[in-house]
A = this chain, B = another copy of it.
Amino acid sequence: MTDTTDMTERAPRPMGHRPRAVQPGEGYEAAEILTSARSCVDPELRAAVESLPGSMRRVALYHFGWEHADGTPAAGNAGKAIRPALVLAAVRALGGDPLSAVRAAAAVELTHNFTLLHDDVMDRDATRRHRPTAWTVFGDADAILAGDTLQALAQRLLAEDPHPGAPAAAARLAACVVELCAGQHADCALESRAPGEVSLGECLAMAEAKTGALLGCACAIGAVYAGAGADTAEALDGFGRQAGLAFQLIDDVIGIWGDPARTGKPARADLAARKKSLPVVAALASGTPEGEELAGLYGRETAGGADGPEGELERMARAVERAGGRDWAQLHAADRMSRALGELARAVPDPERAGGLLALAEFVTRRSH
């Protein structure tokens, strides 16, 4: 199952702390942009959540990490704010005033969190941002209802925003939700099929809908708020989508070969869960003997051969690698990143102006470095 990730779990680099030796555009600038976006958007987000009736407010405050399960205040761990940062960076790149789009950025972040709440219920995921998921604390019904209210809050923010771009942004965000839902459906459907019955094209389409669509939408909403034309908005949508796919490919590589000390997850977690991640599906579709071997291993529960369950996970990882799944994923991520840069250059020809968006795209796709 494609991880419904918010780019937090596997990015343990401390925020607001300046690393000593960092390449420009490869983390430091992005970290500043993210910190700045978080501090712009959080008050708007928090005010929106505080406006909810008590029952729904409680679940939302917990989900955003602003309260513990018992209702006492918590430090907050609401994710890296990639999507709001993309909205604001897109506005800035196109010469608009990022402060005019803070509500829109908050609406995008509320929408993202609505999908996290619902996806966790459907996927029975028990952990999110290193804490128990809302449904494990408050039950399915309250997690579903809190998700519904966050979707409504997002649209309310836009409907009440007097900015002339607000209606077009609202329409884009609503259309994006439909795509996110179709992506989540496809993910659930793919996971229930046999390993050999899943094509790479289907998996890429699913990842684009589930991960790329909202990153693209965030950028496009920024374009709309900057008063840009439809072509520019579409190009920035494409930029976000392609960067989102690159992110997903890298994330899937980390899900197999990532260092548990950095990811916070057990080694080979995605293989243990028999996740049909992109490198795995590429290996299964490779027509190689190692692909065949992987299909056999994936088809049965982890029972382990003579070398026990861990040995079996190691054999799977080796099979994916030898079948070319790892190389394919890394090359394909680079390809998607290159397409993203093409779209970015189309929308924002001046590389100086495009710098913020570029830094964010590099940040999300280079998190393993």
Please provide the chain A residues from 163 to 177 with a CB less than 8 Å away from any CB of chain B in the complex: 166-168, 170-171, 174-175, 177
Residues of B within 8 A of A155 (CB): 155, 159, 170, 174
In the complex, the answer to whether B152 meets A118 with C-beta atoms within 8 Å is: no
In the complex, the answer to whether B160 meets A140 with C-beta atoms within 8 Å is: no
Rounded to whole angstroms, the CA-CA distance of A159 and B168 in the bound complex is 7
Instruction: State how many angstroms separate the Cβ of A69 from the closest Cβ of chain B.
Output: 16
Residues of B within 8 A of A52 (CB): 178, 182
Among candidates B118, B140, B152, B189, residue contacting A178 with C-beta atoms closer than 8 Å? B152
In the complex, the answer to whether B53 meets A182 with C-beta atoms within 8 Å is: yes
Residues of B within 8 A of A121 (CB): 144
In the complex, the answer to whether B141 meets A153 with C-beta atoms within 8 Å is: no
In the complex, the answer to whether A152 meets B151 with C-beta atoms within 8 Å is: yes
Give the nearest-CB partner of A172 in chain B. B159
A56 in the interface (beta carbon within 8 A): yes
Rounded to whole angstroms, the CA-CA distance of A174 and B203 in the bound complex is 33
Q: A interface, by DSSP: helix, strand, loop or mixed?
A: helix
In the complex, the answer to whether A179 meets B118 with C-beta atoms within 8 Å is: no
Please provide the chain A residues from 237 to 252 with a CB less than 8 Å away from any CB of chain B in the complex: none
Asked, given contacts A156-B171, A170-B155, whether A55 binds B185 with beta carbons under 8 Å apart, the answer is yes
Number of interface residues of A (CB under 8 A): 42
Give the nearest-CB partner of A157 in chain B. B174
Among candidates B118, B174, B179, residue contacting A144 with C-beta atoms closer than 8 Å? B118
A148 in the interface (beta carbon within 8 A): yes
Instruction: State how many angstroms separate the Cβ of A342 from the closest Cβ of chain B.
Output: 26
Among candidates B122, B171, B175, residue contacting A140 with C-beta atoms closer than 8 Å? B122
Please provide the chain A residues from 58 to 112 with a CB less than 8 Å away from any CB of chain B in the complex: none
Among candidates B53, B118, B146, B153, residue contacting A174 with C-beta atoms closer than 8 Å? B153
Residues of B within 8 A of A140 (CB): 122
Please provide the chain A residues from 214 to 232 with a CB less than 8 Å away from any CB of chain B in the complex: none
In the complex, the answer to whether B167 meets A152 with C-beta atoms within 8 Å is: no
Interface positions of A (Cβ within 8 A of B): 52-53, 55-56, 114, 118, 121-122, 140-142, 144-149, 151-153, 155-156, 158-160, 166-168, 170-171, 174-175, 177-179, 181-182, 184-186, 188-189
